[in-house]
Each structure stands twice: as structure tokens, then as C-alpha cells.
Structure 1
Amino acid sequence: MADPDEGLMPDGTIRTGAQRERVPPLFEPILAEATRAAEQRGGSLYLYGSVATGAARPGLSDVDLLSVDFGEAATLGDQLSAKYADRCRAVEIATATAADFERQNDAAYGNRVFIRHYCVHLTGPDRSATLPAYPADARAARGFNGDIGQHLQRWRQLLGSSPQQVEVLGRRVARKSLLAVAGLVSVHDGTWTTDRPPALRWGGVQPELAADLAQLMSWADGGSRPTPLDVQKAVADGGIVPTIVEDFARLVGLWREAPDSPSTR
């Protein structure tokens, strides 16, 4: 679910609705168990997403967690997903290391923005506590989605997969591409959003892209199922995704670091 509080502070820094007190009581047992596991295994744990903003839907939303220097996060996520299947769709635990926030590159900058504004600290050393409020600007947009060109290259390599896998790929293409478009809208309009629906605003800036953006939105939201041919057209030269990459490179800028640079998002 979208964060209705996401936007700009009066000083131009990023505002979100991620707050510990907004967590619905239904999800507290999940967080308590995840926190105990993190304390036993070491490392830090953060909550983000709709549960952190209070917009989660019981039984339909994921519980999104970020672990830092925390072993066996995937195993814990599987265990909690099975145990609390009546309360959430899944417990997803992203993994990171302390170094992922300390490097001086676009990915690490995006990680710092993310942990500072989108994450709620649950346990362990809090790397967000000493971070400043970050400007809602092109650098933040680049930190979040400047890897869109690298993703495009990987997506093209996966086109030979089975039709079922390509359908999943199509949804992934749509979601990441629309996040990048949200960054374009943010920089162009002088606002801030990471939500997919506002990305359709880019169709107002470039009307020739409106139909393709609407198709990506339909794939992302499950309104339609992308076929292998649909996905191939979307990522081919002249397709909607390369066009988004070109616009992003021009208006925001792409990552300069290697394709395997880590990102928490």
C-alpha cells in the first residue's frame, strides 16, 4: 500500500510515514519473534514498507524487514512466513552488511537515504540514528534507481526462460521501471515519490509513452499478464524500458559503479 505521508518536508528533505507507533498490533508478534532471533544471532534489524507506515492489509501485505550483518535471514523469513501465514502474505528479510552503507558510491548513498527515511529500527546497532535528513533530489533518485540500466541488461539475458518465468520477469520489469519513472517525476516536478501510480504522470510529460506506462502499471498490479512477446518488446531497443533508461540517464543519471554493487532495495 502507498504511504500517504511520503513527500517533501518544508526544507526540501524527504518525508515518509514510517514510524514505530504506526505498526498495527496484529503484526507485533511477528516483529517480536524476528527481533528475538536477531538479538540471538547478532546484527541489526529494521522494518519498512506498509507495516511500518500503518497501511498494511491483514493477510494480504508482506512484512518487509532489512537485516544488517545478520546471519540466516532467509531461513528465518521462511519460518516466519509459514508460522504467520494467517496474518501476512510473507515475511521478506532483505540482507545487507555495514559496508553497504559506508561506501562512497551511488548505491551506498541510496542505502543511507533508505535506512534513514523508510526504515524503523527494531534492534541492534542503529546505523540510521546519526544520519541527516536527506534532500529529495536527483542524487537520492539516482541512489534508489540509477541501476535501471544494469537491470535492463540482465532482463534481456533472461528472455529465453520459460513462458512462466518470463511472466514473472515481466512483473519485475514493470515494478522496477515504474520506480525509476517515479524518480523521473520527482526530479521533473520538484516533488518526491517512490509510488507507482504517480509514475503515470510521466505520460503527461511525454504523451507518446502513456499507453506503454499504463501497460507496465497493469503488469505490476496484476491487472494483465505479460506474454513473452510483450516483455521482449518492452525491453528491446526502442521499447518503453530503454526509453525510461535514456530519460533517467539524461535527467537523473545512472550509477557509475559495477553492476554487482549492492543495494538494499
Structure 2
Amino acid sequence: MAETVPHRGLDAQGRIAREGSLARVRHDFRPVVAAARDGILDLFGPRLHSAYLYGSVPRGTARVGRSDLDLLIVPRAEPSEADRDAVGALGEQLDKEFPQIDGVGALLYGRGRLLSDAETYDLGFFVACLCTPLLGDDLAEYLPGYRPDSRLARETNGDLAALLPVWRSRTAEATTPEARLRLVRLQSRHLVRTAFTLVMPRWNGWTSDLREMAEAFAGYYPARGDQLRAAAVRGYEPADSPQALAEYAQDLGPWLAEEYARVHGVKTPRP
């Protein structure tokens, strides 16, 4: 049977549907995924609870030589610094071995943290809706269904005000084109996703496409629409742009943080 495409990312009950699947991984990326799976098993063995893909590869939108491989690795217990070093080394190895990818991003969280009450509407949502099972038992079985409501908006992206000073500091320290390029990509994506979740309850849906996010936002904040559209473009095709970083830190970011707090409140502090 043909795969049913959820309307605006929602299932028949109005909950956010899981967006990726192994079936959507394009042929060029399947050897990379297989090597990542084997490497994770070699590193963790019986200590591993589960592992996931997320991002463009399981969504089927990855571009050869341009997209990175994004992994979430979940040990049964909290990971050690040695575990983090080993995962970093695995990512470097995969990046060197496979020209299909442009880097590896690997998140490492223990099972207990992902299933904690504090993370139910942040990392829990990430696992249940944005991650595709690769190995082990799926933690989504222990998590609720998620709807595009204000609580989800607040707990996923309600911390922009706290992030802005960190962004400004890192921007001041970015003295090379390569460093500024990475910051433009990171901050562009974060701002577009935050802007989208600001309007997500009214739009009543979910998407991970940056351009679609920007258009959804622009429907409610047309005066800021062009800024978000430009940020979405930079999220996919980053440029060395000190002007964009200044705009994010001095104009768009502070405005968005203030409006987000007004509409949804501030993210609950984590332990």
C-alpha cells in the first residue's frame, strides 16, 4: 500500500506524526547508515538501549556530499566522557570513509534522562516524533502523543533569550570564515524553528522543512516574513555573513525571544 502522508504532519487524531523512516533513506546513504549501526553496536554492545537517525537522511531529503548524518545514541545508563569521545571518533571515521556525507552529528543521552518528566515535552518529543528507530527498543512506546500546542512550543524553544548571550559571545570569537559559516547555519536554523513553533499552535501542524516553517510564520507575522525566509535559505545554504549574525543578535533574535515569552512563556529550567 502507498504510504499515507499526514496532513500538515498530523495523524488522524491530530497528533504530530513521526516524520522519518528507514524506508525513506536514499540508496546513496544506506551504506553510511549500515556502517553507523555496526559502529554503534561495536562501541556499546549490551550497554546500548537504542539508537536513532534524525534529520534529512531518514526524511529522504538528504543531498549527496552536502548533508550530514544525524544520530541519537541512547545507552542504558548515563554516558561517560569516554563514551562521548568514542562517539566523536566514530563520527570522524564515518565522515572520512563516506564522501556522501558532510559530517556526523551525534547526540548521546541516557535512557533515564530521555524518559524523565522534565524532558517529556522536549527531548521526549524529539525522540517520539523527529527520530527514526535504528537499533534497540523504541522509547516512543513510553512517551505520550504530542499535539502542536503551546506547552510543546514553550518546552522545545522557549529558551531563546537565554541562548542569545551565548550566541553573541561565540560570534565575537568567530574570527575565520569557516567559524562564521557554522554559526550562520546553526543560528539560522534555530531561529527559523523557534519562529515556527511560535505560530505552530495557530498553524496547527508540524514540519521540519525550514522554508515551509518560514512561510507558516510569515502568515502570522508578515512584517518579519522576509527575515525568516532569508534565514531559511541560510539554514540550507549558509554564507559567511557577519551582517546576518549581527541581525540575529541585535534585532530578530531579541524580538523573537520577547514575543515568544509573551505568547508561550519561558521554558521550564532543567535540573
Q: CA RMSD in A?
A: 2.4
| Contact 2:203–2:216, Cα closer than 8 Å, also in 1 | no
Structure 1 pair 205–218 and aligned structure 2 pair: CA distance change class (3 A): same
Structure 1 residue 126 corresponds to structure 2 residue 141: no
After superposition, where does 1:244-255 map in structure 2 within 5 Å? 244-255=256-267
Counterpart of 1:39, as a letter, is L
> Following the alignment from structure 2 to structure 1, what is the Cα–Cα distance between the partners of residues 55 and 32?
15
Partner residue of 1:204?
219
Distance between the aligned counterparts of 2:219 and 2:146, measured in 1? 28
1:99 to 112, 115, 120: 112
1:90 corresponds in structure 2 to 103
Q: Alignment partner of 2:121: what SS?
A: helix
1:230: Cα distance to partner? 4.2
Partner of 1:18: 20
Match of 1:192 in 2: 206
- State percent identity of aligned pairs: 27
Change (3 A) 1:54 1:48: same
TM-score by length of 1: 0.83
1:45 maps to 2:59 = no
1:30: which partner in 2?
Answer: 32
Spell out, residue by residue over 1:102-147, the C-alpha distance to the aligned partner (whole angstroms, 9 max, x if none). 3322x44211111112222222343223333322222222332222
Shift of 1:179: 0.6
CA contact (8 A) 1:39 1:124 kept: no
Whole-angstrom distance in 2 between the partners of 1:196 and 1:24:
20
Q: Identify the match of residue 62 of structure 2 among 53, 56, 63.
A: 56
Cα deviation per residue 1:240-263 (whole Å; 9 max; x = unaligned)?
Answer: 1111111211222321215xx6xx
Tell me what 2:246 maps to: 232
Amino acid at match of 2:66: L
2: CA distance, partners of 1:32 / 1:166 = 33
Q: Give the Å deviation of 1:168.
A: 3.4
Q: What is the distance in 2 between the residues matched to 1:194 and 1:254?
A: 22
Contact kept? 1:183, 1:193, Cα under 8 Å: no
**Aligned AA for 1:89?**
D
Q: Name the SS for the 1:99 alignment partner.
A: helix
Q: Which residue of 2 aligns with 1:142?
A: 154
What 5-or-longer segments of structure 1 have no aligned partner?
A: none
Does the CA contact (< 8 Å) of 1:100 and 1:108 recur in 2? Answer: no
- Compute the TM-score of the two structures, normalised by the length of structure 2: 0.81
Gaps of 5+ in 2: none
Say if 1:17 and 1:171 are closer, same or farther in 2 by CA, change over 3 A: closer
In 2 relative to 1, CA 98–242 (structure 1 residues): closer, same or farther, beyond 3 Å?
same
Quote how far apart the aligned CAs of 1:75 are: 0.7
Give the AA of the match of 1:25: H
Aligned residues: 251
Match in the other structure for 1:221: 236
Over 3 Å counting, the alpha-carbon distance change for 1:27 and 1:151 in structure 2 is: same
